Every structure is written in structure tokens, then in C-alpha cells.
Amino acid sequence: MSTRAEQLLDWYDRDRRDLPWRMAPGEKADPYKVWMSEIMLQQTTVVTVKSYYKAFLKKWPSVQDLAGADLDEVLHAWQGLGYYARARNLHKCAQVVTRDHNGRFPESEKRLLELPGIGPYTAAAIASIAFGLKATPVDGNVERVVSRLFMVEETLPKAKKQLAELAQTLTPTTRAGDFAQAMMDLGATICTPKKAACGICPWMKGCVARLEGEPTDYPKKEAKKPKPTRKAYLFWIARQDGSVLLRKRPEKGLLGGMMEFPSSTWRQEEVSQANALREAPLDALWKKKEGIVKHTFTHFHLELTVLVGRVSRNPPVNGIWVKLEDLKDHALPTLMKKVAKHAITH
């Protein structure tokens, strides 16, 4: 084992974070728990994930339990974590592992990559943490640490391949799982994006960015392009009994499989109310709500104008009628919760 690996592991043994999915020293990791935590931690903070992780394990303590769950139930439990494709793939992956692998996760990176929702990072994380294999998971924390350690001048995302190769040169053959988690901890607690606590870093003496540059200047990144804004009209349709119309979004795509209030197509160009109403699921007397519901996704901003329509009968529709007090029982994404609050309180 290299001196650099020993330095980081010594630090990790002293200062590792206490996380609900992390095994105690010497305790064998559970692949199901490692997989669950890694999927949840994609693009989500540790603080947010903790409660969801505990709730999921309490509800579905094994991969077989999760595989047997209804997808809507899983999506409902996932509400608030965002990036709902992860929840759909979580459920699908559990079914594949249960059906095709007798409830046991494959032990090689290559075979893990064949599972739904598992990419290179997650495969390497499971292989190293759950099975002790020499594998190198590279996330944003690891990229930041490596870019500063070697003072990599190439900008992200072009530098990803180089950073991954450099990270692999650091990974020891033994304790690869602990080393992977140590790298994550180092980036999350010491080598942070806006501040680098170099004075307490186990790699302080060998960090090129500290010696020859400014650590917080790394990793170098290309200038971000401004996010476009899409607009649409949302149809809040209520019956005489107060129930409102919900429908299910397509399984594939943004917010796939989640419930929504119907809307016109989300477009970047301006759309008139008259044209938008051509996409309404039924005819009604429409009244525009004051104000705009705003929401930001990864790649664009969204602005929704809410049109309230009331129907006196029970027309045939593609969707379900739900009482306001029962909306909480359905898998509504954050955007639709904003819409409901706006429609009800304004």
C-alpha cells in the first residue's frame, strides 16, 4: 500500500463520518444497503438522504421486499428526493436482482453495470464498498480532491477521463472500499468546493494546488450556459364535490410515472391561452389564477399559469378524481405540490 493511501486511511479511521449506511470497522457491508444509499445519494445531500434511507429500509428491509412493492408506493415514498428516474430504476433493479440473481447483487463491476440505474460510479462504489474489490468510484467529491492534488488544468467536463485515471492510480488493493469512502469524506468535509481546510488535510504536504496555486480554483470548469425558461398553462379542474383531476405521467421522461395536474405542452416560446386550451383534457368555464408557479429543473426553468375550470358532472377523462385532503396519498412531485398550494391558497 502506498504512503498516500496509508495517510488517507489513517485519517479515515480517526475521523470518518458516522452514517446510517456505513458499516462499523470490521463489519461486513450489506450490498443491498450500499446500493440503496448510493442510488439515493446521487445528486442529493447526505443530510436529506438519511431519513429517506431509514424509511425505505424500515418499509422494505430486503431487496425482495422492494421488488414486491408497487411502483406507485415506491414513487410516493421517494417524494422530495427528486430525480424520480432513480426511484423507477431502484424498483426495476430490485426486481431484476430478485428474479435473475436469486436476490444477490453481482460482485463484479461489469455485471453490476448490467443492472437498471447502475452506472460506472455506482458499480464501482458497490464493488469496492460491498465486496472489497479494487474499484474506484469517481463522483464530484473525488474529482475535486484529485484535481487539486495533481493541479489538473483541463476544465470539466473534458477533464473527467483524466481525473478518473488519476484517481485509479491512488486506489490501494486492500481496503479499497474504505479508501473510496475516505475519498468521499475528504471531499465532503475538508476539500470542499468553496473552502479547503488544508491545515488538517492528510494530503496537505503532497497537494500540488496547495503548494503551487490556489486549491479553490480547482477543478477548472467551463462557463455554465444560462438555463432556458419554458412556459405552459396548467389545468386545475374541480368537480362539484371538490375533487380535482389527476393523471399519471408517462413512465419514461421527466417526472416519469408521477402524478400530475394536466397542463399544456411545456414550450420555450410564448403560447396564448386560446391555443393552450386546445390541449385541455375537457371543456370547462376557465378562470385564470393570479400569479405564476415557478420551478427549476436541472436543465431549464418552468413557469406555469394556472387555469381553474369547474365541471358540474362526471365527464369521461384520462385520469382520476381526487379529494383535496387525499392528494397527500398520491405520488406528487414537488412541482405539483407547488401548484396545489397556489391553486388552493391564492
| Mean model confidence pLDDT for the chain | 93
Question: 204 with 236, same domain?
Answer: no
Span 18-44, average pLDDT: 91
261: number of Cβ within 10 Å: 22
Question: What pTM, to 2 d.p., does this model score?
Answer: 0.80
CATH number of the CATH domain containing 122: 1.10.340.30
The lowest-confidence range among 44-58, 112-126, 138-152, 238-252 is 238-252
pLDDT band at 203 (very low <50, low <70, confident <90, very high): very high
List pLDDT tens digits, range 316-345. Answer: 778 899 999 999 888 888 999 999 999 987
**Residue 248 to residue 268: CA distance in whole angstroms:** 23
The pLDDT of residue 292 is 93
Q: What is the crossing angle of helices 85-100 and 31-41, to 10°? A: 160
Question: 73 with 20, same domain?
Answer: yes
Question: 269 with 327, same domain?
Answer: yes
Question: 271 with 337, same domain?
Answer: yes
**Is 38 one of the catalytic residues?**
yes
Range of the domain at 255: 229-345
pLDDT at 346 over 70: no
DSSP assignment of 64-113 equals HHHHTS-HHHHHHHHTTS--THHHHHHHHHHHHHHHHSTT---SSHHHHT
Query: At 278, which amino acid appears?
Result: R
pLDDT above 70 covers what percent of the chain? Answer: 100
**Residue 63 to residue 71: CA distance in whole angstroms:** 14
pLDDT at 256 over 90: no
H helix or E strand, kind and range, residue 145: helix 140-149
Look at residue 312 and tell me if it is in a domain: yes
List pLDDT tens digits, range 281-321. Answer: 988 889 999 999 999 998 999 999 999 998 877 777 788 99
Could you say which of 181, 203, 224 is where a domain stops?
Answer: 224
Question: 62 with 113, same domain?
Answer: yes
pLDDT above 90 covers what percent of the chain? Answer: 79
Split into its structural domains, the chain has a count of 3
Active-site residue (options: 38, 109, 143, 260): 38
pLDDT band at 79 (very low <50, low <70, confident <90, very high): confident
